[in-house]
Amino acid sequence: MEKWNLMAVVVLLGLTVRWTVSLNSYSGAGKPPMFGDYEAQRHWQEITFNLPVKQCAKFINPDWIALHSSRGYESQSHKLFMRTTVLIADLLIYIPAVILYCCCLKEISTKKKIANVLCILLYPGLILIDYGHFQYNSVSLGFALWGVLGVSCDWDLLGSLAFCLAINYKQMELYHSLPFFCFLLGKCFKKGLKGEGFVLLIKLSCTVVASFILCWLPFFTEREQTLQVLRRLFPVDRGLFEDKVANIWCSFSIFLKIKDILPRHIQIIISFCFTLLSLLPACIKLTLQPSPRGFRFTLVSCALSFFLFSFQVHEKSILLVSLPVCLVLSEIPFMSTWFLLVSTFSMLPLLLKDELLIPSVVTTMAFFIACATSFSIFEKTSEEELQLKSFSISVRKYLPCFTFLPRIIQYLFLISVITMALLTLITVTLEPPQKLPDLFSVLICFLSCLNFLFFLVYFNIIIMWDSKNGRNQKKTN
């Protein structure tokens, strides 16, 4: 079958799955007075439309955004409108980026590239949050992906412009900013700071500053307004973490209630230090040896460090880690699929609250089947395929019998999947005990956190041990 027809079929399949998920309930459906993210987005439309008045959206039903009187507005046609906007944003920004990215992959057959597109498009986490819970993550993730594409293909200015747009759309994208910064800085160093590199540095700085100014121009009118925006964007007053999230602080607080013991500013300092320490090695390595491959892996480890150790993290932020992992799906299919499954699982309490059980289970199974058949993941668990060869060789210098790493990893995978499945079953069928009403969510977060810690170590190993063979292997980039 011709390549573009197959690609069209894959994209149509992705779109169909997205739209059918959107037929389900959304966050906060029918739950006054707070409602949920759906109401939040509608409210923001209300605000931006009414204050100050813009002419563009007048032809759409004004009842949906009438100031004040449309609080908590819920109707079928409005739901259709909101869902359609998500689909269109996805179609215009995220999906073309995915297709272009997979087509630019090297040393892979066309069929594998298309299979890659299918797997990325079927990633359950993004579909469930954007089309189920209701958010517009595909816009920011799409822009970030355009950024990655641009920077990897040496279109640095366009790439950084796209990434600035991503940050200005959603400040969560700052999780990805350090790798971008280090990679581009590394490129400048490599080109020599006395010549081309310096020119590139200047050009990049100008692009970034210009795009930021353009986005923030309407809000620079007063200092107080700018500060207010910053306060809203970075709500440090809201505490170390909110609700149940699969990061270190929440899991640690099972044993020791940090939030109550330490004062606010100490919490901020500790979280800052841990985050910085955990991402520093990879970033330094990227600055000294910039390569697209290293860039991708550093994106993963940086975002994961931020997710695990940062301040006021939401469970949806795992999507920021999932996007780079999707990008390395073709290089380490087994581990990536495992990670993406865990990331969806970690959001289970949120998805159950939105009554998205069946779509979650179905999309997770579909994703798993797609990855398993496209990449034959269970056959790719040797040391070399897990990118752990150089690491294992180094360890074997001290421990000659260290050959059992793939075995261990396979067993860990089995244990992880079985516990995830069991916990899902338990959460859905049983009631938690009276004294511990949050037992199941806490268990889910704790387990996911353990998995994520393992992945943090794994990805950092890949990055750090990649240098030994970096100059020898011709096919890394």
Partner 1 sequence: MAAVGIAAGGGNWFSALALGVTLLKCLLIPTYHSTDFEVHRNWLAITHSLPVSQWYYEATSEWTLDYPPFFAWFEYALSHVAKYFDQEMLNVHNLNYSSSRTLLFQRFSVIFTDVLFVYAVHECCKCIDGKKAGKELTEKPKFILSVLLLWNFGLLIVDHIHFQYNGFLFGLMLLSVARLFQKRHMEGAFLFAVLLHFKHIYLYVAPAYGVYLLRSYCFTANKPDGSVRWNSFSFVRLISLGLVVFLVSALSLGPFLALNQLPQVLSRLFPFKRGLCHAYWAPNFWALYNALDKVLSVIGLKLKLLDPNKIPKASMTSGLVQQFQHTVLPSVTPLATLICTLMAILPSVFCLWFKPQGPRGFLRCLILCALSSFLFGWHVHEKAILLAVLPMSLLSVGKAGDASIFLILSTTGHYSLFPLLFTAPELPIKILLMLLFTIYSISSLKTLFRKEKPLFNWMETFYLLGLGPLEVFCEFIFPFTSWKLKYPFIPLLLTSVYCAVGITYAWFKLYVSVLTDPPVGKTKKQ
What are the residues binding partner 1 (CB under 8 A)?
Answer: 1-2, 5-6, 8-9, 12-13, 15-17, 19-21, 23-24, 76-77, 80, 83, 87, 358-359, 362-363, 365-366, 369-370, 372-373, 375-379, 381, 410
CA-to-CA separations, 134 to 17, 112, 121, 130, in angstroms, rounded: 15, 31, 17, 5
Tell me how crowded residue 422 is: count the other CB atoms within 10 A of its CB: 10
In this complex, which beta carbon is closest to partner 1, that of residue 48 or of residue 376?
A: 376
In this complex, which beta carbon is closest to partner 1, that of residue 42 or of residue 176?
A: 42
Give the C-alpha separation, 347 to 416, whole Å: 16
In this complex, which beta carbon is closest to partner 1, that of residue 242 or of residue 384?
A: 384
Question: At its nearest, how many Å lie between partner 1 and the CB of residue 271?
Answer: 39
Question: At its nearest, how many Å lie between partner 1 and the CB of residue 420?
Answer: 16
Question: At its nearest, how many Å lie between partner 1 and the CB of residue 168?
Answer: 30
At 195, is the secondary structure helix, strand, or coil?
Answer: coil
Question: What are the phi and psi torsion angles at 139 (to 5°)?
Answer: -70, -55
Give the C-alpha separation, 392 to 370, whole Å: 30
Give the C-alpha separation, 333 to 115, whole Å: 12
Residue 241 is given by DSSP the state B
Question: At its nearest, how many Å lie between partner 1 and the CB of residue 214?
Answer: 34
Question: At its nearest, how many Å lie between partner 1 and the CB of residue 393?
Answer: 23
Give the C-alpha separation, 44 to 328, whole Å: 35
Question: At its nearest, how many Å lie between partner 1 and the CB of residue 74?
Answer: 15
In this complex, which beta carbon is closest to partner 1, that of residue 8 or of residue 280?
A: 8
At 246, is the secondary structure helix, strand, or coil?
Answer: coil
In this complex, which beta carbon is closest to partner 1, that of residue 77 or of residue 467?
A: 77
In this complex, which beta carbon is closest to partner 1, that of residue 213 or of residue 369?
A: 369
In this complex, which beta carbon is closest to partner 1, that of residue 5 or of residue 472?
A: 5
Question: At its nearest, how many Å lie between partner 1 and the CB of residue 92?
Answer: 15
Instruction: Answer whether 344's CB lies under 8 Å from 128's CB.
Output: yes
Question: At its nearest, how many Å lie between partner 1 and the CB of residue 80?
Answer: 6
Name residues whose C-beta falls within 8 Å of residue 106's C-beta, 6 or more positions apart in sequence.
none
At 25, is the secondary structure helix, strand, or coil?
Answer: coil
In this complex, which beta carbon is closest to partner 1, that of residue 6 or of residue 153?
A: 6
- Write the DSSP string, 28-90: TTT-TTT--HHHHHHHHHHHHHHTTT-STTTTS-GGGG-TTTTTT---HHHHHHHHHHHHHHI
Question: What are the phi and psi torsion angles at 36 (to 5°)?
Answer: -165, -155
Question: At its nearest, how many Å lie between partner 1 and the CB of residue 24?
Answer: 6
Instruction: Answer whether 246's CB lies under 8 Å from 339's CB.
Output: no
Question: At its nearest, how many Å lie between partner 1 and the CB of residue 86?
Answer: 12
In this complex, which beta carbon is closest to partner 1, that of residue 29 or of residue 439?
A: 29
Q: Tokens representing 68?
A: 């004040």
In this complex, which beta carbon is closest to partner 1, that of residue 131 or of residue 143?
A: 131
Instruction: Answer whether 63's CB lies under 8 Å from 70's CB.
Output: yes
In this complex, which beta carbon is closest to partner 1, that of residue 77 or of residue 469?
A: 77
- Write the DSSP string, 91-151: IIIIHHHHHHHHHT-SS--HHHHHHHHHHHHT-HHHHIIIIIII--HHHHHHHHHHHHHHH
Give the C-alpha separation, 334 to 351, whole Å: 25
Question: At its nearest, how many Å lie between partner 1 and the CB of residue 131?
Answer: 11
